[in-house]
Amino acid sequence: MSRILLFCPFFLALFFVSGASELVVAVSTEPPSLDPTTNAAAAIDLLLHHNLYENLVQVDARGELHGQLARSWEVSQAGLSYTFHLREGVRFHDGSPCDAEAVRDSFLRLLDEATGVPHPEYFALIERVETLDALTVRFVLRERSPAFLPVLALGDAVVTPIDGDLATRPVGTGPFRLASWRPGDRLVLEKNPDYYLAGVPKLSRVVFRFIPDPAAQLAALRAGDVDLVVEVAPEIASTLADDPGFQVISGPQNLVQILAINTSRGPLKDRRVRQAICHAIDRKAIIELVSFGYGTPIGSHIPSATPYYADMTWVYPYDPDRARQLLLQAGYPEGLSTTLTLPENYAFHVRTGEVIAGQLEQVGIRVQVELVDWGTWLGRVYGEADYDLTVIGHPWKLDPAPMLSPYGPDQRGYYFRRGWEDPELEHLLTLGASLMDEGARRAVYTVCQYLIAREAVNAFIQDPHRILVARRGVEGLAVYPLYVLDLSGATAR
């Protein structure tokens, strides 16, 4: 008996350490496939990007690029070639080496039309891929593109072996490898014992449970059946924020929510009317009422947590008196009427639109709210620009060039660019898309953001937050600019 008592503390400690090495995560959506290179489903990236699959370069939680499989790289003076120096000793989960030849073959697979990648345009500029030695690979482009490196950080560009069925048996180089997948129930990842970074990952096992119902997710969290819930609704997170048993982790999800204004219609052609609309909007009130505080005010079409963001909320601060003055100057002393068309499938945008309608009413802009289904919104609003006002979100594209291109010279048919011109802005957008110097690009895009805000093309509302809720003791979680859940540094106790 004495021996059992003597060793009980040891066995108890071992039990808690081993138990703490597993993390159970509730997710709403099950991926239809496990291959992000041939299927665009966001759920694949959420579960596997950075966990099972890796890239040459990676975007960190601050939105900055750094090496992942590549330890360093050089860009030629002309910007037409990128030479990557790979880490030593990296192997795929099947044991094969991830060397220069493997990287070249991985991208040749993406360039092959037979592969069927969802976004071939991402790789269209690659003319050839060369191996210079066992750990050096060079990409030669047809024309230079500052957006090439960000593309290499996407889930579409993960480095994989060319053999095998990635859709059901994914193989990457990441800190976790596939243990099992039970469709309709769970996907299990286990620690990669041959991972090239010492001490990573800290967890031995991750279990993703597919629980589509938010109430069931919350019940599982409270019961201790799961340790972490991702994509939590703000109204639910607000009820847990003060609970000592849980922690709420949130940050900008890099989605630009805007009130889009059709500048070709009636009074909306007048910049003073658009300025009045911008001054009438109280972003902070919207964030409190719609996002329960989980949002960041923005004044730009670039999200707040990215390196290129410039704060332009000061251009048109909330000022209802100024809004009324601008309407008077524009010739509408009795106010005016307009229609706000909202996609009923997106409750978040509908709630935002309803709050905005009330704020516009306060300055004399009478708003008729029109709810339409998503198909109608895509066809009539987005496709034909048949609307006055609408509320929608635009996701970050990792580079300012594609994000701001709708305001440029080549996108005149885009749904919100109809009734205004700015040659200076068009020149700067063209320049920014070709500059290779990072400092110069940021300066150019700062000016671009000011010019767009000044013209009051749209009213920029918020960057809503992604929200994770975990039990106390789970650490190392972060919100990324991409739709990923990087668990390589997570711990649980």
At 395 the pLDDT is 86
Q: How far is CA 229 from CA 196, 357, 464, in A?
A: 29, 33, 17
Q: What is the pLDDT along the chain (493 residues), one digit of tens a residue?
A: 333 333 344 444 443 444 449 999 999 999 999 999 999 888 999 999 999 999 999 988 777 899 999 999 999 999 999 999 999 999 999 999 999 999 999 999 999 999 999 989 899 999 999 999 999 999 999 999 888 999 999 999 999 999 999 999 999 999 999 999 999 999 999 999 999 999 999 999 999 999 999 999 999 999 999 999 998 989 899 989 889 999 999 999 888 999 999 999 999 999 999 999 999 999 999 999 999 999 999 999 999 888 899 999 999 999 999 999 999 999 999 999 999 999 998 999 999 999 999 999 999 999 999 999 999 998 999 888 999 999 999 988 888 988 898 898 765 567 876 678 889 999 999 999 888 888 999 999 999 999 999 999 999 999 999 999 999 999 999 888 788 999 999 999 8
Sign of CA dihedral 137, 140, 146, 150: negative
Extract the tokens encoding 298.
């923005």
Query: How would you classify residue 476: left for phi > 0, otherwise alpha for psi between -120 and 50, otherwise beta?
Result: left
Burial 54-80 (b: 16+ CB within 10 A, else e): bbbbbbeeebebebbbbeebebeeebb
Topology classification of domain 53-157: Dipeptide-binding Protein; domain 1 (3.90.76)
> Are domains 53-157 and 255-463 of this chain identical in fold?
no
Topology classification of domain 255-463: Dipeptide-binding Protein; domain 3 (3.10.105)
CB atoms within 10 A of CB 17: 11
At 4 the pLDDT is 38
Q: How far is CA 26 from CA 20, 170, 319, 340, in A?
A: 17, 21, 43, 36
Question: How far apart, in whole angstroms, are the C-alpha atoms of residue 489 and residue 202?
Answer: 6
Predicted confidence (pLDDT) per residue in 29-68, tens digit: 999 999 999 998 889 999 999 999 999 999 887 778 999 9
Sequence-distant (≥ 6) Cβ neighbours of residue 435 within 8 angstroms:
146, 441, 444
Predicted structure pTM score: 0.84
For 333, what's the count of Cα atoms within 13 Å in the CB-facing half-sphere? Answer: 0
The full set of domain ranges for the chain reads 53-157, 255-463
